[in-house]
Structure 1
Amino acid sequence: MSAEKPDAWTDLPVLTSWHPTDPAAASHTALPAVRLHLTLTLRREPASVGQCRRLFDTTLIALNVGADCRDDIALILTEACTNAVVHAAGETYRVNLTVDRRRCVIEVFDHGTALHDTHLNWTAEDCEPLERLGTSGRGMLLIHALSDAVEWFHVQPHGLGVRMSKQLVWDADRRNPAPANPPRSVANAPR
């Protein structure tokens, strides 16, 4: 299975999980059976970054993703969204979140003028010493450091897309939590 990069800015769904699903993994009972896809179109304003981060974190908590893993995802998401808010053009940007049994994939698309091609595949070695960057470009390094895979690409006719993936670590203590207030049967309910 392969994913195609978007050719134009549209409101059509974008395939975000380009990794084939391993049928053998489906029988592994230790991992929750999960497949979630959220797409948000947000106003390009600073408040949208926090709103998006809180929504995604709440979603990952509900799915029992471990706290350290959620923190990494929150930082990755925050840096990518902040780049769209600060450096892009247009009134909106789009964020996709896809979660399956093994990974979280985040995509951010904006209407910016995009990066120069030499910056699309930056690594930490390209930015040594770190002080050379000042505050510009550090977000890209954080995204690289905390993601398992990162891909920046041009969105036609203009704009930039970034796809980041992170292996999920599940919270074993909350995998199958007992309900706080078990439901009572109607037959045993007080009258």
Structure 2
Amino acid sequence: MTCLYLPPVPASVGAARRWAALLLPDDVRDDVVLVLSELLTNAVTHATGAPGAGAGAAGGGEEIEVEVVVDPGGGHVALAVTDPSDQPLPPAPATVAAGADHGRGLLLLDALAQDHGWTPRAKGKSVWALFRRPRVPNWDGRGGVRGPAVVRAGCAGA
């Protein structure tokens, strides 16, 4: 498990993408980095009191935690973004207008991750995604771990 703590500012998204790209296997790197970018952008925009944040936003200043778990057996990669908001993850919209500037993040999450969800935390919530990798020759295939089991208590154990 590898963790990164970031301030809730837009520049954190690019920093997290660069950090994660160094950790991830080639076969899932692009998908995981794209989903990370979307989840972190949502956390910065909606969960920290940034302009346009919805009701229940926690207010700025609290760090956002990014956790990446690469299964040593090669079977999966788990990603979690924890923010200070206790607001549940909304359902993904069925469609987004072609000219819309935003609104596709949860659609991308649905399309790219094999499993995903959110888990309440003592201070906020963690949005997680699980990416299964192609079968690795020495992996026994019995590591059928689902997202919440992989993304246990977070980096700080909260």
TM-score range (shorter-chain normalised) is 0.5 to 0.7
In percent, how many aligned pairs have the same letter? 32
Aligned residues: 123
> Aligned with 1:152: secondary structure?
strand
Q: Match for 1:155 among 110, 121, 126?
A: 121
> Aligned with 2:69: secondary structure?
strand
Counterpart code for 1:77: L
CA distance in 2, matches of 1:145, 1:152: 16
Q: Residue 154 of structure 1 contacts residue 161 of structure 1 at CA under 8 Å; is this kept in 2? A: yes
Runs of 4+ off more than 4 Å: none
* Mapping for residues 95-134 of structure 1, pairs under 5 Å: 95-100=66-71, 101-115=74-88, 119=90, 122-123=91-92, 127-131=93-97, 134=100
Q: Residue 35 of structure 2 contacts residue 108 of structure 2 at CA under 8 Å; is this kept in 1? A: yes
> Aligned with 1:112: secondary structure?
coil
Question: How much does 1:46 deviate?
Answer: 1.1
Gaps of 5+ in 1: 1-36, 171-191
Q: Residue 107 of structure 1 contacts residue 164 of structure 1 at CA under 8 Å; is this kept in 2? A: yes
Superposition RMSD in Å: 2.6
Counterpart code for 1:51: A
* Mapping for residues 1-191 of structure 1, pairs under 5 Å: 37-60=1-24, 65-66=25-26, 69-89=28-48, 90-91=60-61, 92-100=63-71, 101-115=74-88, 119=90, 122-123=91-92, 127-131=93-97, 134-157=100-123, 159-169=124-134
TM-score, scaled relative to structure 1 = 0.56
Question: How much does 1:47 deviate?
Answer: 1.1
Gaps of 5+ in 2: 49-59, 136-158
